[in-house]
């Protein structure tokens, strides 16, 4: 993806106010701070993501899917949703080659969304477990078999203590599912479904 440079990087914001004094003392120089304590470094990452207003650049050797990795990812996604330009340089993302993607067979729209999220370059190394039931997919995720992408409405009806939810970037999160029917079909079930859909769209 091509980078987009800003005409003027510095703009008055909260971080600028905090760092302005140091920047004026050392013009045209960059700075860094070494942190030897993991907790301090973790809290600092969260604070920088929350304070970011224009850009957020992050570089990691490994980004794992543990608790801290998921928390940081949540803050980074929220920054992106605010309009912050986020750039990640990761040598080894939290998705491991021996993990499985649990999905419906080819043709399911949610599977295509998941494929776009993982990226074309990673797809050849992804092991896919195909199932034909959302309930079975959620159960497999809860047992530690792999990851999956399912509608929020499914998770609202299938409770599983071992399943963690992770929001997707908006570019992948908005999924449109069309409702189609035969024009001559006027069954009570169809009428009830259309009324339910119309109610949720209000």
Domains of the chain: 8-94 (no CATH), 96-195 (3.40.190)
| pLDDT attached to residue 120 | 67
Does pLDDT of 5 surpass 50? no
- Mean pLDDT rounded to a whole number for the chain: 76
Predicted TM-score (pTM) above 0.75: no
Percentage of residues of the chain with pLDDT beyond 70: 80
C-alpha to C-alpha distance for 164 and 141, rounded to whole angstroms: 9
Q: Where are the beta strands (DSSP E) in the chain?
A: 55-62, 85-92, 100-103, 127-130, 146-148
Does pLDDT of 117 surpass 80? no
- Dihedral, 57, 58, 59, 63 alpha carbons, nearest 10: -150
| pLDDT attached to residue 91 | 63
pLDDT band at residue 123 using 50, 70 and 90 as cut-offs: low
Using only the alpha carbons of the chain, give its radius of gyration.
22
Does pLDDT of 104 surpass 60? yes
The two structure tokens encoding residue 157? 């009806």
Q: What is the mean pLDDT of residues 140-149?
A: 80
The two structure tokens encoding residue 200? 């949720």
Does pLDDT of 167 surpass 70? yes
């Amino acid at each position: 993806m091509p980078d987009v440079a800003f005409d003027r990087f510095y703009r008055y914001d909260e971080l600028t106010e905090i760092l302005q004094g140091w920047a004026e003392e050392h013009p045209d120089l960059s700075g860094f701070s070494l942190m030897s304590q993991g907790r301090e470094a973790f809290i600092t990452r969260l604070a920088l993501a929350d304070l970011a207003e224009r850009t957020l650049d992050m570089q990691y050797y490994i980004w794992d899917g543990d608790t801290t990795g998921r928390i940081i990812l949540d803050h980074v996604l929220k920054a992106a949703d605010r309009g912050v330009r986020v750039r990640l340089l990761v040598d080894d993302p939290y998705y491991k080659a021996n993990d499985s993607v649990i999905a419906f067979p080819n043709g399911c729209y949610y599977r295509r969304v998941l494929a776009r999220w993982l990226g074309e370059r990673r797809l050849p190394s992804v092991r896919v477990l195909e199932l034909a039931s959302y309930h079975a997919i959620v159960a497999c995720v809860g047992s530690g078999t792999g990851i999956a992408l399912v509608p929020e409405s499914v998770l609202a009806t299938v409770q599983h203590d071992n399943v963690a939810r992770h929001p997707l970037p908006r570019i992948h999160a908005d999924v449109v599912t069309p409702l189609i029917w035969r024009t001559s079909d006027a069954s009570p079930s169809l009428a009830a479904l259309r009324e339910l859909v119309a109610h949720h769209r209000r």
